Structure 1
Amino acid sequence: MNSRSPVAGLISESSGGTRAAILNAALAAFGEKGFNGASMRDVAAGAGTSLSNLYNYFPSKSHLLAELLRRANDELLHRTSTAVRDAGDDPADRLREAVKAYVGFVVDHQTAALVAISEIRYLHGEHRERVVRARDSTQAIFGEIIADGVAGNRFPTPYPDGAARNIVSMCSAISTWYHPEGQLSKEALAEQHARYALALLETRLDG
């Protein structure tokens, strides 16, 4: 995992020291022990606060997990939508930049990305619905780009919906195997996966 704070960049400076420390400790605990294995006492110890004070901020582990995933999804959606907006009109360029933004997020926030795909099953009710809606908003960006590319004969694939799901899954799965000491830089990894995505859409790759 990255040595940087797992939630660095996900929590604004205005969030406050104790709240940020709690979220940071919760993500570290969920990443190391899983949602079921981690306890509120683990989170309190990691945050350097008392268990009773922790409950003043978050009444349950589910509230902690939901808040962490909300922040992660917000950051991912911001990065992806910004990259697409700045990419121009060509669907291939937009898709390439969307994938690169997604991969960059996963590398920068590997623990959050891993927790998002492995621990969401423990959320229920309104907490789960909100996280799923946010996650679907990101996938919808890819779906819209692919639909535009298919309509304009830029993407020959006969399976646009399946392609969108598989591209998102491919990017998120990086969190399960990425190592910062690996041979590929973040930029090279992002470019490689952008090519994978375009190949999945049966697009001719130049160069």
Structure 2
Amino acid sequence: MNDRSPAAALIADTGRRNEAAILNAALAAFGDKGFNGASMRDVARGAGTSLSNLYNYFPSKSGLLAEVLRRANDELYARVRRAVADAGDAAGPRLRDAVRAYVGFVVDHQVAAVVAISEVRYLTGSDRERLVAARDSTEAVFAEIVAQGADDGEFRTPYPADAARSIVSLCSSVSTWYRPGGRLSRGQLAELHARYALALVEAPLAGTA
């Protein structure tokens, strides 16, 4: 995964510098080597700390992965919710801006988005259950918007639940192929996927401008 675009640090330093450094180093290690290939020693080295100090923060590699993915989903969820709240009441603009926010997150944090797709299979038990619940919360935002549009007649799809799941999958899959310096800018890429999403729900495209 080391050919992905470099991204800004996912976890900001808000007074817990060691933890932020560890989590960002873990994300880089998982992105570069995968969960199985990355070691706790790799993470400690990347964070500029000792292995023993790393274990004080995170006793297991799976717990570290779970926390990285939880933080990533929290950031994605917050971006989508803010975009939807600012979009007004109509389903079309709400869906358009939710997709724009999702794609923007993927571009900004591509490694986190790829790790969320490829490495989640290594989580088990309560770690996996909590992450699935968090992901479901994000998908539920899209499901609610599509259901609203279908109920109001703004969206003509007879399959709102399936359409919402397809839109989320469409947005997340951008992480697997996006490269910086491509023919589309960040904004153009987000706009293109907003149009795709509106087409999936069989909505007019006039509101995408």
User: What residue is the counterpart of 2:24 in the other structure?
Assistant: 24
Q: 1:56 offset after TM fit, Å?
A: 0.8
What amino acid maps onto 2:151 in structure 1? A
Q: Please list, as runs of the form range in 1=range in 2, the aligned pairs for 1:127-166 lying within 5 A after superposition.
A: 127-166=127-166
Q: Distance in 1 between matches of 2:36 and 2:92?
A: 41
Equivalent pair of 1:100/1:194 in contact (CA under 8 Å): yes
Q: Does 1:3 align with 2:2?
A: no
Amino acid at match of 1:3: P
Structure 1 runs not aligned, ≥5 long: none
Write the letter of the residue equivalent to 2:84: V
Q: Structure 1 length as normaliser, TM-score?
A: 0.95
Structure 2 spans left out of the alignment, 5+ residues = none
Match for residue 52 of structure 1? Answer: 52
Report how many residues are paired.
204
Deviation at 1:12, TM superposition (A): 4.3
Q: CA deviation at 1:45?
A: 1.2
Query: Any residues of structure 2 matched to 1:109-120 within 5 Å, and which?
Result: 109-120=109-120
Q: How far did 1:183 drift?
A: 1.3
- Residues in 2 aligned to 1:3 and 1:156: alpha-carbon distance in whole angstroms: 39
Structure 2 Cα separation of the partners of residues 157 and 185 of structure 1: 30
Cα shift at 1:24: 1.1
CA displacement, residues 66-94 of structure 1 (integer Å, 9 cap, x when unaligned) = 11111111111111011101101110000
Q: How does 1:70-89 map to 2 (within 5 A)?
A: 70-89=70-89
- Provide the residue aligned with 2:14 in structure 1: 13
Tell me which residue corresponds to 1:36.
36
Residue aligned with 1:13, SS: coil
How far is 1:205 from its partner? 1.7
User: What residue number does 1:90 align with?
Assistant: 90
CA distance in 2, matches of 1:32, 1:121: 17
